[in-house]
């Protein structure tokens, strides 16, 4: 493993930060998103309703605990820490010209605290956090004007933090726009009755592509050392059988991921992209100059999340739970939330992405949502989490050491417990650090180290050499 391999952990403001109405912050779309309850999926309200609990409002309160949390990350030996900036903390409505100074100061304090310990911040610019005003008054990324608002926001944070932050990503899991049935996460889009959903989301995605490219161009002008990536969910899929038809079905399944990858990395709509547009009978409206912007604003690396794999083909049985629908693989076990566990698939994913793009990769999310039990003495024995992460690290090491894939780093998701994006739950935990809060929002927010905390510390200390629990 390279000496400068970026070991760390990942979070996002909408699930972790809290402080939703403090420091002059405006509302963001996730502030009106309820958790899933009694078989009802997550849903968006028009505004904050009395008596309803919204999980993002406190998250797990990084806003007030950042010093304590960063000290714990340092204790684990983190080389980097992935977080997001909440757009509406900087621009409370989203369309202002001037930023909210108090919001900027908060992230100054966070980055200073990280740098004090030599932890490199890795910052997502938009992780499910479209300002609510842009959603309500503009229809979110349907409206081309968001390109300008986003560019302005990026320029402000790039200029402010140009000497503190080097690694950036534009839109979290942008291909989730097509993959997941909650396009308000990625694009702030709540579908309107009767509209052609593919036309809407693919046009909105075009605006996001242009915005991402403009951010890359502006970022490189502000600091040529910036590394600015895209961020994809990588929903690895295998053909269910060796039947040629299943291979075609499998290509079809991966089309939307490569649609987003191609535009970001190759800087143009490739045949993969045009075939997807044809499939959905969608025409993208471009403005003069868009093609040049996309070509100029290619990303420096691909950040991606990897949690599970699935299969595609004739007559496959869908597995309940995977955030992206897919078929059940008889060779794999699944988590309590039905996500199929496939560490070897991480090596395959790294190879597929690197073979296709020859661009540095960064695993910015991976992990296992699980129930944790706090013992009477306060300890938490999460051996299932250690097993999951250990096996995935073996997969990534094989990709680096045997296959020569260029991998920048590894930041397991929810390194400290936070709110689950797909359900709004707290009991679905990913952390090395436990946070005392339940699904209704009750709890002291006290932090506790799980067994995995000590194990991951040793992994980082030995640069990935020591993966066993015993040594």
**What 3 state SS string does 165-183 have?**
CCEEEEECCCCHHHHCCCH
| Minimum CB distance to ligand BG6, residue 14 (Å) | 7
Site string for ligand BG6, 225-244 (x = CB under 6 A): --------x-----------
Residues 113, 173, 179, 425: which is the catalytic one? 173
User: In terms of CB distance, is 253 or 428 closer to ligand BG6?
Assistant: 428
Q: Is residue 332 near ligand BG6 by the rule CB under 6 A?
A: no
Residue found under tokens 């008889």:
330
Q: Is residue 305 near ligand BG6 by the rule CB under 6 A?
A: yes
User: Could you give the CA distance from residue 414 to residue 470 in angstroms, rounded to a whole number?
Assistant: 25
Q: Is residue 17 near ligand BG6 by the rule CB under 6 A?
A: no
Query: Which of these ranges, 81-89, 208-216, 286-294, 419-427, lies near ligand BG6 under the rule CB under 6 A?
Result: 419-427
Burial class of 75 by CB neighbour count within 10 A (0 to 12, 13 to 18, 19+)? middle
State the alpha helices, DSSP H only, in 358-406: 383-401
User: Could you give the CA distance from residue 446 to residue 372 in angstroms, rounded to a whole number?
Assistant: 15
- The answer to whether the beta carbons of residues 269 and 262 sit under 8 Å apart is yes
Q: Is residue 246 near ligand BG6 by the rule CB under 6 A?
A: no
Which of 78, 81, 306, 413 lies at the binding interface for ligand BG6 (CB under 6 A)? Answer: 413
| Minimum CB distance to ligand BG6, residue 15 (Å) | 6
User: In terms of CB distance, is 172 or 272 closer to ligand BG6?
Assistant: 172
| Helix 244-266, helix 197-222: angle, nearest 10 | 40
Number of residues that bind ligand BG6 (CB under 6 A): 15
* Dihedral (CA of 391, 395, 396, 397) sign: positive
Residues 365, 376, 425, 469: which is the catalytic one? 365
Q: Is residue 84 near ligand BG6 by the rule CB under 6 A?
A: no
Q: Is residue 113 near ligand BG6 by the rule CB under 6 A?
A: no
Query: Which of these ranges, 74-82, 103-111, 222-230, 420-428, lies near ligand BG6 under the rule CB under 6 A?
Result: 420-428
Q: Is residue 172 near ligand BG6 by the rule CB under 6 A?
A: yes
User: In terms of CB distance, is 348 or 411 closer to ligand BG6?
Assistant: 411
DSSP class of residue 84?
E
Where does residue 435 fall: left (phi above 0), alpha (psi -120 to 50 degrees), or beta otherwise? Answer: beta
Query: Which of these ranges, 214-222, 382-390, 414-422, 448-456, lies near ligand BG6 under the rule CB under 6 A?
Result: 414-422
User: In terms of CB distance, is 60 or 422 closer to ligand BG6?
Assistant: 422
User: In terms of CB distance, is 128 or 150 closer to ligand BG6?
Assistant: 128
Question: Which pair of structure tokens corresponds to residue 415?
Answer: 């390194």
Q: Is 33 a catalytic residue?
A: no
The angle at the Cα of 88, spanning 43 to 215, to the nearest 5 degrees, equals 105
Q: Is residue 173 near ligand BG6 by the rule CB under 6 A?
A: yes
Q: Is 471 a catalytic residue?
A: no
Q: How far is CA 47 from CA 24, 93, 129, in A?
A: 18, 14, 15
Closest by CA position to 380, among listed 423, 429, 440: 429
Query: Which of these ranges, 145-153, 237-245, 286-294, 413-421, lies near ligand BG6 under the rule CB under 6 A?
Result: 413-421
Which of 12, 29, 135, 350 lies at the binding interface for ligand BG6 (CB under 6 A)? Answer: 12
Q: State whether residue 327 is helix, strand or coil.
A: strand
Q: Is residue 171 near ligand BG6 by the rule CB under 6 A?
A: no
Query: Which of these ranges, 21-29, 56-64, 265-273, 421-429, lies near ligand BG6 under the rule CB under 6 A?
Result: 421-429
User: Could you give the CA distance from residue 168 to residue 166 in angstroms, rounded to a whole number?
Assistant: 7
- The answer to whether the beta carbons of residues 280 and 205 sit under 8 Å apart is no
Closest by CA position to 73, among listed 327, 462, 449: 449
Which of 208, 421, 426, 433 lies at the binding interface for ligand BG6 (CB under 6 A)? Answer: 421
Dump strand ranges (E) for 366-437: 407-410, 433-435
| Minimum CB distance to ligand BG6, residue 179 (Å) | 10
User: Could you give the CA distance from residue 146 to residue 188 in angstroms, rounded to a whole number?
Assistant: 11
Q: Is residue 428 near ligand BG6 by the rule CB under 6 A?
A: yes
User: Could you give the CA distance from residue 34 to residue 89 in angstroms, rounded to a whole number?
Assistant: 20
Where in 346-385 is the site for ligand BG6 (CB under 6 A)? 365, 369
Cα-trace Rg, the chain: 21
- The answer to whether the beta carbons of residues 151 and 111 sit under 8 Å apart is no
Query: Which of these ranges, 75-83, 111-119, 148-156, 422-430, lies near ligand BG6 under the rule CB under 6 A?
Result: 422-430
Q: Is residue 422 near ligand BG6 by the rule CB under 6 A?
A: yes
Q: Is residue 439 near ligand BG6 by the rule CB under 6 A?
A: no
| Helix 244-266, helix 343-357: angle, nearest 10 | 60
Q: Is residue 207 near ligand BG6 by the rule CB under 6 A?
A: no
Interacting residue ranges for ligand BG6, rule: CB under 6 A? 12, 15, 172-173, 233, 305, 323, 365, 369, 413, 420-423, 428
Enumerate the active-site residues. 173, 365
């Amino acid at each position: 493993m390279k000496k400068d391999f970026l070991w760390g952990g990942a979070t996002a403001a909408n699930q972790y930060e809290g402080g939703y109405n403090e420091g002059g912050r405006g509302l963001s779309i996730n502030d009106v998103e309820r958790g899933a309850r009694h078989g009802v999926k997550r849903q968006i309200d028009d505004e904050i309703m009395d008596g309803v609990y919204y999980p993002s409002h406190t998250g797990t309160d990084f806003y007030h605990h950042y010093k304590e949390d960063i000290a714990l990350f340092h204790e684990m030996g983190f080389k980097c820490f992935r977080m997001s900036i909440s757009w509406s903390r900087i621009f409370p409505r989203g369309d202002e010209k001037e930023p909210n100074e108090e919001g900027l100061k908060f992230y100054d304090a966070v980055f200073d605290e990280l740098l004090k310990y030599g932890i490199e911040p890795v910052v997502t610019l938009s992780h499910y956090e479209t300002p609510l005003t842009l959603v309500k008054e503009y229809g979110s990324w349907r409206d081309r004007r968001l390109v300008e608002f986003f560019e302005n926001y990026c320029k402000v944070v790039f200029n402010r933090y140009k000497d503190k932050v080097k690694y950036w990503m534009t839109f979290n899991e942008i291909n989730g726009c097509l993959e997941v049935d909650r396009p308000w996460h990625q694009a702030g889009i709540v579908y309107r009755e009767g509209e052609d959903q593919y036309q809407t989301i693919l046009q909105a995605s075009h605006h996001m592509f242009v915005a991402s490219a403009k951010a890359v161009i502006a970022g490189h002008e502000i600091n040529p050392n910036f590394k600015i990536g895209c961020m994809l969910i990588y929903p690895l899929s295998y053909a269910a059988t060796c039947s040629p038809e299943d291979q075609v079905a499998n290509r079809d399944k991966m089309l939307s991921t490569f649609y987003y990858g191609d535009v970001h990395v190759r800087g143009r709509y490739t045949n993969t992209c045009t075939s997807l547009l044809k499939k959905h009978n969608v025409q993208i409206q471009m403005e003069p100059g868009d093609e040049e912007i996309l070509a100029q604003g290619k990303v420096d690396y691909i950040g991606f999340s990897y949690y599970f794999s699935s299969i595609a083909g004739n007559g496959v049985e869908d597995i309940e739970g995977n955030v992206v629908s897919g078929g059940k693989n008889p060779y794999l076990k699944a988590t309590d939330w039905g996500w199929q566990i496939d560490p070897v698939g991480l090596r395959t994913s790294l190879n597929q992405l690197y073979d296709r793009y020859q661009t540095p990769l960064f695993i910015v999310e991976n992990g296992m949502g699980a129930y944790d039990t706090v013992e009477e003495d306060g300890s938490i024995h999460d051996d299932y989490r250690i097993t999951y992460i250990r096996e995935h690290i073996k997969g990534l090491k094989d990709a680096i050491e045997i296959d020569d894939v260029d991998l920048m780093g590894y930041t397991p998701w929810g390194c400290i417990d936070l709110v689950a994006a797909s359900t709004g739950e707290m009991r679905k935990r990913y952390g090395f650090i436990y946070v005392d809060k339940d699904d209704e929002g009750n709890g002291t927010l006290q932090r506790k180290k799980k067994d995995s905390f000590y194990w991951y510390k040793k992994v980082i200390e030995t640069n990935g050499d020591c993966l066993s629990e015993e040594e």
